[in-house]
């Protein structure tokens, strides 16, 4: 039974499975889980690793299933490195590993930790062919996974939830939904030709752009509100400044350049938020005055 389409043998098979690791999409959920842990303070490294691994295999599951459906079932993609059997084995292995992580989280933390972790796999597994058929679930699936990574990463450390991680989860849900709308605008012609109902296909590229930047601005407004209410550290405003600068430049580019810039801008946004929560730089500065 061949698992890789191009060639057989251990090395070719390993390369085919490795090709389903997409760092641009897989690093953010891992960073989001760790961000949740940082928000909880007092990090247990073992539990953090189990939750990060669960998020990694959830996104891996999504990519293998999406590739399988798009190439082997729908015939939309030109190529895919895994055979049908290879996809099924990959899905079984990644889902089994996810289940092991859930058992460990149940034993180490409890059932609520699992209840906050399992939806990530559900969103991932059912992304294709179910959730990617509707503009809202196609847009919000990945951002919802990131939001769950923050909440789960926090919960497994703190064994409770609090307004701060919930607010950060909402900020990333809204912000990343905006970026995904721009990302889908880039594939407007192709998606329309295969009747894929992304937001851009449903409302048209111009309105999709307006909606996308509106969502990003809403995400930033929530951060300002949370700083004003004293829930987020004032340094979070620096994250808005950094992302706002990137978004302003992205607005001038086409959808491909804008997506590339905005994804990187969201990394910078997260990095500055981590620094703001961890070091509280503005508080340190103000205390010197």
Ligand X SMILES: CC(C)=CCC/C(C)=C/CC/C(C)=C/COP(=O)(O)OP(=O)(O)O
Query: Interface residues with ligand X (CB under 6 A)?
Result: 25, 29, 55, 58-59, 62-63, 66, 70, 120, 123-124, 127, 132, 141-142, 145-146, 149
254 secondary structure, DSSP code: -
Cβ(163)–Cβ(103) below 8 Å: no
* Residue whose Cβ sits closest to ligand X: 145
Comparison of 199 and 277: residue with beta carbon closer to ligand X: 199
Q: How far is the CB of 43 from ligand X (least distance, A)?
A: 19
Q: How far is the CB of 59 from ligand X (least distance, A)?
A: 5
Q: How far is the CB of 64 from ligand X (least distance, A)?
A: 9
DSSP structure string for 180-195: HHHHHHHTHHHHHHTT
Query: Angle CA(214)–CA(138)–CA(68) in degrees, nearest 5?
Result: 150
Q: How far is the CB of 149 from ligand X (least distance, A)?
A: 5
Q: How far is the CB of 214 from ligand X (least distance, A)?
A: 20
- The three-class DSSP label of residue 234 is coil
Distance CA 198, CA 134 (A): 7
Comparison of 141 and 235: residue with beta carbon closer to ligand X: 141
Alpha helix (H) ranges present in 109-162? 111-125, 135-158
Comparison of 194 and 284: residue with beta carbon closer to ligand X: 194
State in Å, rounded, how far the first CA of the chain is from the last one: 70
Comparison of 96 and 241: residue with beta carbon closer to ligand X: 96
Bridge partners (DSSP) listed for residue 82: 4
Comparison of 80 and 127: residue with beta carbon closer to ligand X: 127
Cβ(120)–Cβ(155) below 8 Å: no
């Amino acid at each position: 039974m061949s698992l890789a389409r191009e060639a057989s043998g251990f090395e070719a098979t390993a390369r085919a499975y490795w090709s389903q690791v997409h760092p641009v999409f897989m690093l953010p959920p891992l960073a989001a889980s760790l961000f949740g842990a940082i928000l909880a303070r007092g990090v247990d490294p073992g539990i953090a690793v189990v939750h990060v691994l669960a998020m990694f295999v959830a996104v891996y599951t999504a990519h293998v299933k999406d590739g399988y459906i798009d190439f082997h079932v729908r015939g939309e993609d030109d190529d895919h490195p895994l055979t049908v059997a290879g996809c099924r084995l990959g899905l079984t292995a990644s889902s089994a590993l996810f289940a092991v992580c859930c058992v460990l989280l149940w034993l180490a933390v409890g059932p609520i930790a699992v209840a906050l972790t399992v939806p990530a796999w559900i969103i991932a597994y059912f992304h294709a062919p179910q959730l990617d058929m509707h503009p809202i679930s196609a847009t919000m699936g990945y951002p919802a996974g990131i939001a769950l990574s923050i909440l789960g990463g926090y919960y497994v450390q703190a064994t409770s939830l609090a307004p701060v991680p919930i607010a950060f989860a909402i900020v990333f849900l809204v912000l990343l939904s905006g970026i995904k709308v721009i990302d889908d605008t880039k594939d407007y012609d192709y998606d329309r030709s295969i009747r894929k109902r992304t937001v851009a296909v449903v409302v048209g590229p111009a309105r999709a752009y307006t909606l996308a930047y509106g969502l990003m601005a809403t995400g930033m407004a929530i951060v300002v509100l949370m700083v004003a209410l004293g829930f987020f550290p004032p340094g979070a405003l620096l994250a808005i400044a950094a992302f706002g600068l990137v978004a302003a430049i992205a607005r001038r580019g086409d959808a491909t350049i804008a997506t590339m810039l905005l994804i990187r801008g969201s990394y910078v946004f997260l990095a500055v938020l981590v620094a703001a929560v961890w070091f509280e730089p503005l508080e340190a500065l103000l205390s010197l005055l």
